[in-house]
């Protein structure tokens, strides 16, 4: 499935994100877990700013993902769990496709050892998936 992120790519990104967080939050432990989010849990995700991309390009990529889902595509998304919130780090288009189709989806979850630290990504939260899409 050309043009789509692979499971291996997402695992590498997960490891890079944990290394990044360990670097900017020295002494804090981070663990990771795999989880399958239900459609309802997908709706409760805090959707962050996905970066610059034209809506036409996003729509084209979401069509590719939607088609690939029918062929078994299911690369996990990447989320941060903090203070009971699930915050989307990577997989914005996958989330939109899965949520719009009523699907559950796999996720790699980064869990910090402390709950009282605010992460910079939180300033980019746009709202919950269920309220935006």
Q: How many domains does the chain have?
A: 1
**Is residue 118 included in any domain, yes or no?**
yes
Residue entry with tokens 């990104």: 13
Domain that holds residue 56: 7-132
Instruction: Output the pLDDT for position 4.
Output: 93
Of the given ranges (34-38, 45-49, 65-69, 113-117), which has the lowest mean pLDDT? 113-117
Q: Quick: pLDDT tens for 59-71.
A: 899 999 999 999 9
Instruction: Output the pLDDT for position 1.
Output: 52
**Is residue 1 included in any domain, yes or no?**
no
**Is residue 2 included in any domain, yes or no?**
no
Residue 107, domain CATH: 3.90.1530
Residue entry with tokens 């990044």: 20
In Å, how far are 4, 74, 111, 112 from 77, measured between CA atoms? 12, 9, 14, 17
0.85 surpassed by pTM: yes
Q: Measured between alpha carbons, how far is 94 from 92 in angstroms, rounded to an integer?
A: 6
Q: Quick: pLDDT tens for 99-129.
A: 999 999 999 999 999 988 999 999 999 999 9
């Amino acid at each position: 499935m050309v043009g789509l992120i692979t499971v291996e790519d997402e695992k590498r990104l997960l490891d890079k994100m944990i290394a990044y967080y360990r670097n900017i939050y020295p002494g804090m432990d981070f663990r990771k877990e795999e989880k399958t989010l239900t459609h309802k849990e997908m709706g409760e995700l805090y959707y962050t700013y996905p970066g610059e991309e034209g809506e036409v390009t996003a729509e084209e990529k979401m069509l590719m993902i939607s088609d690939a889902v029918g062929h078994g595509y299911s690369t996990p998304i990447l989320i941060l769990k903090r203070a009971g919130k699930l915050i989307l780090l990577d997989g914005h288009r996958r989330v939109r496709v899965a949520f719009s189709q009523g699907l559950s989806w796999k996720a790699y979850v980064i869990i910090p050892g402390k709950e009282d630290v605010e992460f910079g990504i939180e300033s980019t939260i746009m709202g919950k998936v269920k309220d935006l899409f």
